[in-house]
Structure 1
């Protein structure tokens, strides 16, 4: 039933939502290009036409460089996160995002713009790994879905905000200021995060992993303090569980990404994380968002109307992301993703069919064009409700502490790699084959979904340390599946240890997975009980731990 005392307090929520300024950075920087390429002044300054072959290649290169650099960022940021810690790494990443945004806003030549876009992609690749990693490590099991879900929610909020900025800037009289101001706004969120970062705590799991156990416990007590637990037993149990799991894993070498991909112990998790992110991007969600203004032009809309609809589209997506964050801990990760993907594909099939018949600005059938736009909105409704939040939550949960930064980085690189492929090809594809490009997303996603439904285990309700049991790991202390009597004995044992004695390495008892304790052996005493709690892990029923075969 889980450790109900370890619950997030206001401070925990405040920290999570503040660092989500990094999520805002990723979302805003990714979305703003959709508004920029909807401004005639952008094409006029750099002297090319959006509908020309050269224009399609430039737009494709802009998106491709950004996404490709993002993948590189995901593959390289882990060493920074592990070496310097989550907090210091976030500060450095903010500087990268600020400088690269300034380069774009000050571009005097299209090559300068593309260079800035590349380094900005590198920065958001860093930050799109660092933020969910950090939030997952400060969150208690019962509310981890909602807290990590703030990452996906804020991404969509930033998409909506970028849309409204694009709509507002359309009415600026100076054409040069239009696109430069939009690109300069990319500086705001990382600057705020950088200025406020000295006041956020370091990840308690990183602190404990690096031998700073007392500091880690202090952070946990501050993050998860509540009136029902004045002795901080919940935080102490959590600290004990983290410490014992890290001690259990200390004998294992820290592998690099290539070793993880081919490791028998971790390759399944690496594959699941990458596969899930790749499938989510294979829905075509970023292609639709980035090229929506141009697609709406094809459906007969012009002027500021496409920019207005883009703003509404992204704002609506943010609302559904919030619903996703609220429901994910109840419905389960895999079930809600399945609902979202299925709904997206039904809507995209209808969008494709309607575009085939009415996707021409000269077509007189306004009702058909309006219906196509309606199903585009329904598409993002399902994506926001079931996918955006869930994909980040799941990928941040399935890796143990000592490889989490590498695992999350590898997983999110699946997002950027697929985005690179799809967005780079999108410009030329829409110019040459039009609506037929949507068929790629429909076919690929429909082929990928069944594997997720059948093979991916549910992680709802488990601590980060206990998730490892789903993949065959030994769990040093399984708090979630202790019986009531065992839970009370563990509480009493922790409460009986004064100060930090129960965590010190020279103290016999609860600190070590291999040391006997007075009372039951919490590392394996409940094994038979756990094995009897079998759930349908593909559908998120119950809270038992079933190893993935």
Structure 2
């Protein structure tokens, strides 16, 4: 990644504290409640793979051809793109917290509609609701966590979002496997969809009591509330609270100056501001390349890939899927790497115990190779490409453009998700299955070159300093000189105030009596 020297521009004149901040458990409560949205994202993305093994056999859904199956699967990413675009201006207007509450409510409604579906159109409507909710959550959760987190743990906390997506995928397969034994064609698939309402309700209840992002509060002139939230996050550490307030204040003042010079819609201001435009381009390409790696062809068609290896039993297919995602989750930073061999052994033993082969497949020593390669592919993806586009997009943009830019970048993710999922089967027929993945591999090589030469390293910078990484050297130097003048003016003002305090005072009138 590109290394850039950033100018220290403490907006309040308060230098960055040298001691580590006194972080309270409160910030972890905020983050864990928010990333439940990531769990719902993963669960509702993953559960469709298990449910669609049984939905076509339901009496109310027959006949269900391939077009209907593709429509039900792809409707969610399509609507997620719409949800992510709505989320940007919506969060600027009503706040990050209320968008998360809205997403939780829509998740609950969507899960209920899917679980109670009596025909194909009703199931499609439920998937539309879930898609909009996923779009809202995928955009707003990283923004909320990023704006509420101290800089030295911000990356870890935003990475929790991707960890919870993976956990949602794992739980989706486990829940799918469990409910596949309860009259799956009539009842089981309904329980699979309906289970998503439980975490959605938990998140909704949590955010009734949790606060708004401190940066959003400050930008909307609710300064005292912003300070109260920061006080809870930093356990009353006044040095860090003052520093954070100063950084936010300086950022807000810069934004007001920029807005005065560039009036108009936020999107127009983004396009007129070179460093923000550059950040948006890089952030959008990161999200686009993530999907061009072909990851969601594996996510949506896990069951098909496993069955193409020759696995006959549907229950076995779901349980092997769970093992695959469990292994993927093991490479997350919070889980020790030494348990990966143990998980691999579990998957291997599950093959020995559960495998029941389709008669139409020729069972050879290479039959399980597609599944092994899929596990390696998911392990490599989850180690970096899974979380980093979300983490970096939550950091890249100034406060005034953050929600809009993250919304646009997230929409790019979902649009290419939709394109990949809709074209995979056709592309597999035109270019063969292995040819299709060679195309995805070529896109990933291009992404590697792009990331190495164009994406800056954000480690160690506050969320308000990251903006400078996209500025030209001349612009950063101009900011440095401007801040030096501002600090000199503040010092002169303080000295003048101190001089007046030390000067002797005399009464306005004199007592002339002797």
TM range (shorter): 0.7 to 0.9
Following TM superposition, by how much is the alpha carbon of 1:517 offset from its aligned partner in structure 2, in angstroms? 2.4
Following TM superposition, by how much is the alpha carbon of 1:38 offset from its aligned partner in structure 2, in angstroms? 2.5
The one of the two structures with greater contact order (alpha-carbon pairs below 8 A, sep at least 6) is 2
Alpha-carbon contact 2:35-2:161 (below 8 Å) kept: yes
Could you tell me the TM-score, scaled by structure 2's length?
0.81
Matched, 1:237 2:252: no
SS at match of 1:462: coil
- CA separation of 1:437 and 1:36: change in aligned 2, threshold 3 A: farther
- Kindly report the root-mean-square deviation, in angstroms, between the aligned alpha carbons of the 2 structures: 3.0
Matched, 1:198 2:208: yes
For 1:415, the equivalent position in structure 2 comes to 413
What is the CA–CA distance in structure 2 between the aligned matches of 1:377 and 1:159, rounded to whole Å?
14
Deviations 1:148-184 (A, max 9, x none): 1111111111110001011111111352111111111
Give the count of matched residue pairs. Answer: 449
Q: What residue ranges of structure 1 are gaps of 5+ in the alignment?
A: 327-358, 482-509, 522-549
Alpha-carbon contact 2:287-2:389 (below 8 Å) kept: yes
Matched, 1:306 2:311: no
Matched, 1:321 2:332: yes
- CA separation of 1:275 and 1:196: change in aligned 2, threshold 3 A: same
Following TM superposition, by how much is the alpha carbon of 1:101 offset from its aligned partner in structure 2, in angstroms? 2.0
What is the CA–CA distance in structure 1 between the aligned matches of 2:492 and 2:362, rounded to whole Å?
79
Matched, 1:248 2:254: yes
SS at match of 1:252: helix
Alpha-carbon contact 2:24-2:234 (below 8 Å) kept: yes
- CA separation of 1:425 and 1:513: change in aligned 2, threshold 3 A: farther
Alignment of 1:155-304 (within 5 A): 155-173=165-183, 175-225=185-235, 231-253=237-259, 255-257=265-267, 260-261=270-271, 263-303=273-313, 304=315
What is the CA–CA distance in structure 1 between the aligned matches of 2:62 and 2:490, rounded to whole Å?
75
What is the CA–CA distance in structure 2 between the aligned matches of 1:142 and 1:183, rounded to whole Å?
38
Q: What residue ranges of structure 2 are gaps of 5+ in the alignment?
A: 1-7, 9-15, 338-356, 495-514
What is the CA–CA distance in structure 1 between the aligned matches of 2:360 and 2:87, rounded to whole Å?
48
Please, which moves more after superposition, 117-126 or 442-451?
A: 442-451
SS at match of 1:421: helix
Following TM superposition, by how much is the alpha carbon of 1:429 offset from its aligned partner in structure 2, in angstroms? 4.5
Following TM superposition, by how much is the alpha carbon of 1:314 offset from its aligned partner in structure 2, in angstroms? 1.7
Following TM superposition, by how much is the alpha carbon of 1:82 offset from its aligned partner in structure 2, in angstroms? 0.8
Following TM superposition, by how much is the alpha carbon of 1:366 offset from its aligned partner in structure 2, in angstroms? 3.2
Following TM superposition, by how much is the alpha carbon of 1:514 offset from its aligned partner in structure 2, in angstroms? 7.1
Alignment of 1:82-161 (within 5 A): 82-161=92-171
- CA separation of 1:188 and 1:325: change in aligned 2, threshold 3 A: farther
Alpha-carbon contact 2:77-2:417 (below 8 Å) kept: yes
What is the CA–CA distance in structure 2 between the aligned matches of 1:290 and 1:408, rounded to whole Å?
24
What is the CA–CA distance in structure 2 between the aligned matches of 1:361 and 1:282, rounded to whole Å?
35
Matched, 1:447 2:428: no
Could you tell me the TM-score, scaled by structure 1's length?
0.76
What is the CA–CA distance in structure 2 between the aligned matches of 1:278 and 1:19, rounded to whole Å?
24
Deviations 1:468-522 (A, max 9, x none): 111118789x9xx9xxxxxxxxxxxxxxxxxxxxxxxxxxxx9x9577223899x
- CA separation of 1:306 and 1:231: change in aligned 2, threshold 3 A: closer
What is the CA–CA distance in structure 2 between the aligned matches of 1:75 and 1:361, rounded to whole Å?
48
Following TM superposition, by how much is the alpha carbon of 1:97 offset from its aligned partner in structure 2, in angstroms? 1.8
- CA separation of 1:519 and 1:316: change in aligned 2, threshold 3 A: farther
SS at match of 1:251: helix
